[in-house]
Amino acid sequence: MPGPAALKPDASIAEQEESPLVWSARWSLTTRILAVNILAIALLAGGFYYLDTYRSRLVDTRIEVMKDQLAMLDRALEAARPDQRARLIDEFAAATESRLRFYAADGTRISDSFETGPPTYTLRDPDLQPWKRDAARAMDRGIDWIVGAPSYPDFTEPSVDNARAWPEVMEAQTGDIATSRFRYAPERTPLLSAARVVDIETPQTVLMTLNARDITRTVRAERFRIAIVLLVVLLASVLLSLFLARTIVRPLRRLARAAVRVRLGRAREVVVPRLPSRRDEIGTLARALSDMTQALRERIDAGEHFAADVTHELKNPIASVRSAIEGLGRVHSDEQRAQLLSIADEDVRRLDRLVNDISEASRVDAQLSRTLFEPIDVGIMIESMLASRAARVDDADVSQPRIAFARPRKGTTMVMGDGHRLERAIDNVIDNAISFSPPSGLVCISATRLGDEVHVKVEDDGPGIDPAQREAIFRRFHSERPASEAFGRHSGLGLAIARTIVEGHSGTINAKDRDDGRQGGSLLITLPAREGGTESA
C-alpha cells in the first residue's frame, strides 16, 4: 500500500487552484451556512429604518394638524366676543392637550394657558423614573444612531419667556404664516411647537406646544413587535442552519475521515460509508467514493498478486539457468556442455518471452486510459492480420493448422477503439486456438454484427475447454497446455492481456462450447458497435 507521501496532493497545485474568495475558503461550512442565513435576517432588520421614517411621518402629520388647529383657533377668536375669548382658549388647550402662549408684537408674553387653566401635560423628570425607562431611552438613542436618524435639540424651559426665546415665534412675526419645531423633552419624548400670527384687536403671535408622548409609545411598540419577529426568525434560522449543516457537514466529515484512513493505509479493509438512505448529491458522492476506494483496493490487490505471480514465474527459469551454468564447470564432455548450453538458451528465451509479456500486461491498462479511440472496421483489421501471419508462415509447413475467416461486408463491423490493441487481443486469441489445434485442424474466425454489438468468434479443433476452467484461463500465468508441447513455450499471459484490452473497450470475452456441437474450444469477443454502422443481414 502506498505510504502517506505517495497519495499526498501537490501543495503548489492546490495553492494555484485555491478559490479567489480566500476569506470564505477559510471558514467552515457550518459557519458559512450560518453567516448566509443571518445575513438574510440582518436585511430583515432593516425594518428599523422604516420605523424611523414612520416616526418622521407621524411627527410631520402631527405638526400639520397643529397648524390647522391654530388656523381654526384664529378664525374662532375673530368670531368670538371679547368676553368669550379667554374661555375659548382654555377649552381649546384642554381639547388639544396643548399649551397656548400669546406674545405681543414687541415680544412680551401676553397670556399662558397653563396660568389661566390647569396644565394639559407635564414634562417628566427622567431622574425620577424607573430603570426600565432609562433602558428604553438608551435603546432609542442606540437605534437612532444605527439608522442615522437626524438629531434634534433638547427642550429646556426658557428662563425669560418672551418671543426671542422661541425661534418659531420670531419667524412667524417676520412674515411666515405658521412655523414649527421639533425638540426632545427631558424624558426623550417629542415636544412639538407651532406658531402663528392671529389678529385679536391687535396682531398677536400664538405659540402652541404639545408633548406627543403617544408617538414615542407607538414607535416603541412597533419596535418591540419587530424585535420579537426578528428574534423568532433568528432562532428558527439558526436552528435550521444547524440542521442543514448537520445533514451536510457530518456525512462529509465521515467521508473525509474514511478517505484519510485509506490514504494512510493503516486499515486494510477501510469501509467508506455509502449512505444508501441519501438520495441527494452527498449520497451520490459517498457511493462514488466507496466505489472508487473499492476499485483502488482491487487494483492494489491485483498489483500485489501480479508481483507475486511474476516472482514465482521468474524463479523457475532463473534457477534452471543458474543450475546449467553451475553444471558447466563440473562436466567435461562436449556433448554434456552442449546439452547444458541448450537448456540455458531455452530458459533465456523463456525469460525473454516472460519479460515481454509481463511488460505488455503491466502497461496495457495505463495505455488504454490515455488512448484516443477511432473508428475501426474489425473485418478489415482481421483480414490484414491474417495476411501478415500467412506471409510469415511457410506454406510447406504441414504442422500448422489451417485458418478460415468469414470476412464480413465492409463497414458492417465498425467499432470505436485502439486498432493496435484490438489487433493484439485478437492475435492472442488466435495464437491460443492454434496452440490447441492438431496439425490437421482448422481454426475458424468470424466477425458479425448483432444489434448494437460486434461479435468476433474464434473456434478450434482442440480438446475443448473444461467448463470449470472457462474463467480461470483468463487469469494471469494460468496455463493448461497440451502434454506434447514443450514446457515454457507460453507465458500464460496471452488471454489475460486479451481480456484486459477487450474490457478496456467496454467489451467482454468468454469461453464456451462450439455452436456446431463438434469437439473444440470457442472464444467469443463482444464489442459495442460504433453508432451509424451498417447492421448485417
pLDDT in tens, 394-406: 655 556 788 889 8
pLDDT at 416 over 80: yes
The reported pLDDT for the residue numbered 15 is 43
- CATH H-level, domain 47-211: superfamily: PAS domain (3.30.450.20)
pLDDT, average across residues 371-388: 88
Q: What span, in angstroms and rounded, lies between the C-alpha atoms of 431 and 400?
A: 11
Q: How far is residue 196's CA from residue 102's CA, in Å, rounded to a whole number?
A: 10
Q: Which positions ≥6 away from 364 have C-beta within 8 Å?
A: 421, 497, 500, 501, 504
Two domains, one topology: 47-211 and 372-481+491-537: no
pLDDT winner (highest mean) among 148-157, 277-286, 359-368? 148-157
Q: What is the pLDDT of residue 358?
A: 67
Residue 537 has pLDDT above 50, yes or no: no
pLDDT reading at 485 higher than 60:
no
Q: pLDDT tens digits for 152-199?
A: 899 999 999 999 999 999 999 887 677 899 999 998 999 999 999 988
Is the per-residue pLDDT at 10 higher than 60? no
Residue that is written with C-alpha cell 441527494 in the block: 280
Residue spans per domain, the chain: 4-44+224-271, 47-211, 372-481+491-537
**DSSP label at 511?**
E
Q: Does pTM top 0.85 for this prediction?
A: no
C-alpha closest to that of 406 among 436, 432, 382: 382
Name the nearest CA neighbour of 308 among 358, 347, 348, 376.
Answer: 358
The answer on pLDDT for 6 being more than 60 is no
**CA distance linking residue 64 with residue 78, whole number of Å:** 21
pLDDT score, position 344: 77
Over residues 384-398, the mean pLDDT reads 74
**Closest to 182 measured CA to CA, from 62, 99, 101:** 62
Distance, in Å, from the CA atom of 405 to the CA atom of 413, rounded to the nearest integer, reads 14
Q: What's residue 488's pLDDT?
A: 45
Residue 123 has pLDDT above 60, yes or no: yes
432-436's contacts with Cβ under 8 Å and 24+ in sequence apart are 432/494, 432/495, 432/523, 433/458, 433/459, 433/460, 433/462, 433/521, 433/523, 434/400, 434/401, 434/403, 434/460, 435/481, 435/482, 435/485, 435/490, 436/460, 436/462, 436/463, 436/482, 436/521
Q: Which amino acid is residue 60, in one-letter code?
A: D
Parallel, antiparallel, or unpaired: how do β-strands 442-450 and 402-406 relate?
Answer: parallel
Which tens digit of pLDDT belongs to each residue from 11-49? 443 444 444 444 444 566 667 677 777 776 666 666 666
CA-based nearest residue to 495, from 449, 421, 403, 432 = 432
pLDDT average, residue stretch 496-510: 87
Among the residue ranges 55-64, 474-483, 510-519, the one predicted with the least confidence is 474-483
User: Percentage of residues in the chain with pLDDT exceeding 90?
Assistant: 21
Cα gap 291→89, rounded to integer Å: 93
Question: What's the CA gap between 514 and 113, in Å, rounded?
Answer: 124
Q: Residue 163 has what DSSP assignment?
A: G
pLDDT tens, position by position, 43-85? 666 666 666 788 888 999 999 999 999 999 999 988 888 888 8
Q: Is the pLDDT of residue 471 over 60?
A: yes
CA angle, residues 508, 510, 513, in degrees to nearest 5: 150
Residue whose cell numbers read 423633552: 185
Give the architecture (CATH level 2) of 372-481+491-537: 2-Layer Sandwich (3.30)
Neighbour-count burial for 28-57, b at 16+ CB within 10 Å, e otherwise:
eebeebbeebeeebeeebebbeebbebbee
Helix, strand, coil in percent for the chain, rounding step 5: 55, 15, 30
Q: What is the pLDDT of residue 4?
A: 39
Separation in Å, CA 309 to CA 127, 305, 312, 445, 476? 96, 6, 5, 32, 8
Q: Is 191 exposed, middle or buried (0-12, 13-18, 19+ CB in 10 A)?
A: buried
**What pLDDT does residue 525 have?**
92
Q: Tell how far CA 465 is from the center of its chain.
A: 52
More confident residue, 455 or 306: 455
Q: 8 or 489, which is more confident?
A: 489
Mean pLDDT over the full length of the chain = 79
pLDDT at 366: 61
pLDDT over 70 at 106, yes or no: yes
pLDDT score of 337: 76
pLDDT in tens, 417-463: 888 888 888 888 888 888 888 887 889 999 999 989 999 999 988 88
